[in-house]
Structure 1
Amino acid sequence: MHKPIEFKAGSITAMTAVIRELDNVRLADSLHTMMGGMGEFFADEATVIDLTQLSSAPDRVDWAGLGSLLRRYGLQPVALKGTPEHLVESARKAGLAVLGDGAARVSAADKTAPAPAAAEPAKVEPVAAPAQAAATMIIERPIRSGQQIYARGGDLVILGGVSNGAEVIADGSIHCYGPLRGRALAGAQGDTRARLLCTNFGPELVSIAGVYRTFERGVPENLAAKPAHAVLREAAGGKGGHTLNIEPLQLD
């Protein structure tokens, strides 16, 4: 018999936007810098807005404006995590689900934590749970503009090149043996040990564990079309966190 509705258990992979300041103007500036002004960078991915790292919570939030800002880059906000209690009702009225017990207060530790650098008030990143090792995905053909390859749970090895406008993603490391001209995101589930290695470096954007670097002004001459690798290094000064370094790769 035909059923008008049916429920089945399933799972969905969602991006997490870790927001440390609920100021839409500063968020817009940060996203523009991070993404190099490239709209629709993400492919309409469901997104959870994580507020657990707020340095302070405002009395009111323009949820509609925040949603519009994220959708500009191809993110589809569906829910909030770590929502301060006084913002729960307005978030629900804006159509956002509130995850957890319904209202997570900003802890004292969060309120006294040092604010992030002014240039990076927010960072869009996947759920920060290190991915488990899995079988390596090997792609023997070139990846054309508009195509996306995702190696879920493991490394990605590309024997051909990656064209401008293409996107390659891996929960582990990415190895590209042809020209890398598109966007490459390694450590997509938060693995800070992941790396990006290629023999001909020239991407539009690279990312490891949510830390991005764009090349809208071109790749530095010492790296352009040469072997290189991207790796996260501990931030200088012992302040915690990581910086994304692009370094020459010595092959002989």
Structure 2
Amino acid sequence: MSKSLFQKPIEIKISTVVAVSAILTTADGTALDAALARMTGGSADFFEDDLTVIDIAALPDGTAIDWTAIIAVLAKYRLKPVAVRNAPAAMAAEIASHGLTLETASKPRDDETPVAPAPAPVKASPTISSTAEPLPNGQNVMIIDTPVRAGQRIYARGCDLIVTAVVNNGAEIIADGSIHVYNTLNGRALAGASGNADARIFALNMSPELVSIAGVYRTFEDGFPAEFARSPAQIRLMGDRIDILSVNSATRA
């Protein structure tokens, strides 16, 4: 009997990673293009077709948005918009006409404390999942003991991530908690992915291409700061600034 008779025509499984957030403070396509050019340092594969949520909470009310132009600018730098965050319901039809979904989170009032939205669940390419192991304090951690190769993406959802092997250039590691690399950290590291501003990134040998804490990014087009490169260091978020410090001192960059 044909094997196909025992196979389901389709299976739906959850595959969840973090889409990057493109937080707009202007809708001027020329300004966005120039900013992305500076951010990527002219690298054609800097973002590698990352799925993207466009966040317009920081735009002044009433700003006219040319969605076609903005999508084109993001696509130029290999960012793939899939959704719009913090848009009013009145924009829903226009947003949908461009093939984007609408996240319904609204702008916080002046008397409210902004809450970082959770990352959008999206289908992803090479992603490693792992069963989190319980820590004594009841939290969880994902442990990766093998090298993270170029093109791989690891996401530790709801927990810290520990990597004991090298993270290569072109790899991406993501955690909702902190990231600890007991080896060389190249590639990209994104901690506090669901909005935890207290998360940190630690590595024994620090030389990343890009780091992020709670959605705030810092890139290193001119190389990682020499005083911290290839040495034990930590990265943390102070306000809206990414700080780099030695693991053993208060020195920072």
Query: Considering the TM-score relative to the shorter chain, is it more than 0.5?
Result: yes
What is the percent sequence identity of the aligned residues? 41
Tell me which amino acid in the other structure corresponds to 1:187: G
Tell me which amino acid in the other structure corresponds to 1:128: P
* Equivalent residues of 1:80, 1:97 under 8 A apart: yes
The change in CA–CA distance for 1:150 and 1:213 in structure 2 (over 3 A counts) is: same
**1:105-116 alignment to 2 at 5 Å?**
none
- Other structure's SS at 1:71 match: helix
Structure 2 unaligned residues grouped into runs of 5+: 111-115, 120-137
1:79 aligns with 2:83: yes
Give the one of 218, 221, 229 matched to 1:224.
229
Q: How far did 1:79 drift?
A: 3.2
**1:47-126 alignment to 2 at 5 Å?**
47-59=52-64, 61-83=65-87, 90-100=94-104
1:138 aligns with 2:123: no
Give the one of 177, 188, 205 matched to 2:182.
177
- Other structure's SS at 1:194 match: coil
Distance in 1 separating the partners of 2:101 and 2:22:
15
* Equivalent residues of 2:40, 2:221 under 8 A apart: no
Which moves more between the two structures, 81-90 or 176-185? 81-90
Matched with 1:114 is none
1:128 aligns with 2:117: yes
Tell me which amino acid in the other structure corresponds to 1:66: I
TM-score by length of 1: 0.72
Distance in 1 separating the partners of 2:147 and 2:18:
27
Which moves more between the two structures, 175-184 or 79-88? 79-88
* Equivalent residues of 2:181, 2:204 under 8 A apart: yes
Matched with 1:19 is 24
The change in CA–CA distance for 1:9 and 1:168 in structure 2 (over 3 A counts) is: closer
Q: How far did 1:195 drift?
A: 0.2
Tell me which amino acid in the other structure corresponds to 1:246: I
Give the superposed CA RMSD.
Answer: 3.3
Matched with 2:172 is 167
Work out the number of aligned pairs and report it.
219
Matched with 1:247 is 245
TM-score by length of 2: 0.72
Matched with 1:237 is none
The change in CA–CA distance for 1:243 and 1:93 in structure 2 (over 3 A counts) is: same
